[in-house]
């Protein structure tokens, strides 16, 4: 038996050391005496630390944390090249609790013989249903109508008439797992659905009732609702800006459940201020968390959620089961599913690390 230590980033804990996410599938390690599980508590909030949430999204894995782990499960912190300043003699795998890997330096991981795996599809429904919720709420002007009641302004009913969805056009940017699930959810609502997704399979799109369009410009010009589901990488970072909002109909709504950094946020604010679009639903932001006085919080026609709308108990369990299963495979000397830096698999250093745990298969 060879001990395999897996550490979860400290942002899974509250300032009393209790789990903030109630079920992270630690039960899958029960009876596996070769697995030692812990938390990187240096990244956890401390009692009275009022500035923790301002730092949360800039937390990083450190060389000291790398040095004491065979595996690290990442919630929010970054894994930069600096994490490997002292090498990675022990660290074998990094599990990303979700699909996004934009905060992990994959090249540095590969160079240090560390495989990175994620849970690419476990949040697909939760993310798609969040976009679906935004579509419905924006169409019905739900939050604006709610405020009328809270403020006692029933006389303003005629100013907050919404729209129905049949006959309207939904434009999906990125027809990956969540984009396809959104198309499935919206299909019964009588909307025409188009998508811009250069790598999408045309036959699969047709089976979903989705028409692929050749350019983002065409999608923006035709859609009544534009929903972002594409991944964040060098080719998509900061690609949506003022020119794109000018192409949209003034009656159209913009939805982002992908990554905030895809959008040039000051230009979105300007577009909303100038009435270039009818409103927006945003679960993600360019810099998180946004402050309470951020310009986006001032618009009545914008719905904001704290990068948490898809984080349901069901989705969290699916994600963490996937991650725990990946950890179990590594602890048995096997390659986890969903490795994203697959070139590492052929490196002798990684193979030697993994081979150390083959003896655990008989435990």
Active site residues: 259, 288, 307
Residues 97 and 73: beta-carbon distance below 8 Å: yes
User: Coil, strand or helix: which one is 79?
Assistant: strand
User: Coil, strand or helix: which one is 115?
Assistant: strand
Alpha-helical regions (H) of 7-78: 52-55, 63-67
Interatomic CA distance for residues 78 and 87, integer angstroms: 17
Q: 7-43 as b/e, with b when 16 or more CB fall inside 10 Å? A: bbbbbbbeeeeeeebeebbeebbeebebbebebbeeb
User: Coil, strand or helix: which one is 95?
Assistant: strand
CB-based burial of residue 93 (10 Å sphere; 0-12 exposed, 13-18 middle, 19+ buried)?
Answer: buried
Distance of CA 52 to the CA centre of its chain: 21
Q: 277-287 as b/e, with b when 16 or more CB fall inside 10 Å? A: bbbbbbbbbbe
């Amino acid at each position: 038996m060879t001990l395999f230590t897996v550490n979860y980033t400290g942002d899974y804990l509250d300032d009393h050391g209790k789990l903030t996410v109630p079920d992270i599938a630690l039960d899958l390690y029960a009876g596996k005496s070769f697995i030692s599980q812990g938390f990187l508590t240096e990244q956890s909030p401390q009692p009275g630390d009022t500035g923790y949430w301002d730092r949360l999204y800039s937390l990083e894995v450190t060389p000291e944390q790398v040095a004491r782990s065979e595996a690290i499960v990442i919630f929010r912190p970054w894994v930069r090249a600096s994490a490997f300043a002292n090498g990675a003699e022990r660290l074998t795998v990094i599990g990303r609790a979700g699909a996004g890997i934009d905060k992990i330096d994959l090249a540095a991981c590969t160079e240090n013989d560390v495989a990175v795996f994620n849970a690419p599809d476990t949040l697909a429904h939760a993310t798609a249903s969040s976009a679906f919720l935004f579509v419905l709420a924006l169409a019905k002007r739900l939050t604006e109508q709610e405020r009328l009641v809270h403020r006692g302004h029933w006389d303003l009913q005629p100013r907050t008439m919404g729209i129905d969805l049949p006959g309207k056009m939904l434009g999906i940017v990125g027809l990956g797992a969540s984009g396809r699930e959104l198309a499935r959810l919206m299909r019964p609502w009588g909307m025409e659905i188009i998508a811009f997704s250069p790598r999408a399979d045309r036959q699969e799109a047709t089976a979903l009732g989705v028409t692929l369009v050749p350019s983002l410009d065409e999608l923006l010009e035709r859609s009544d609702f534009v929903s972002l589901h594409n991944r964040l990488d060098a080719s998509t970072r900061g690609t949506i800006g003022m020119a794109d909002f000018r192409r949209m109909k003034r009656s159209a709504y913009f939805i982002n459940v992908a990554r905030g950094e895809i959008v040039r946020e000051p230009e979105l604010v300007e577009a909303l201020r100038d009435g270039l679009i009818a409103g927006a639903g945003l679960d993600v932001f360019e810099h998180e968390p946004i402050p309470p006085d951020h310009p986006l919080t001032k618009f009545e026609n914008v719905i904001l959620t704290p990068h948490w709308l898809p984080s349901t108990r069901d989705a969290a369990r699916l994600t963490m089961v996937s991650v725990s299963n990946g950890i179990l495979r590594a602890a048995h000397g096997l390659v986890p599913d969903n490795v994203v830096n697959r070139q590492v698999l052929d490196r002798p250093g990684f193979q030697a690390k993994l081979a150390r745990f083959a003896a655990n298969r008989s435990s």
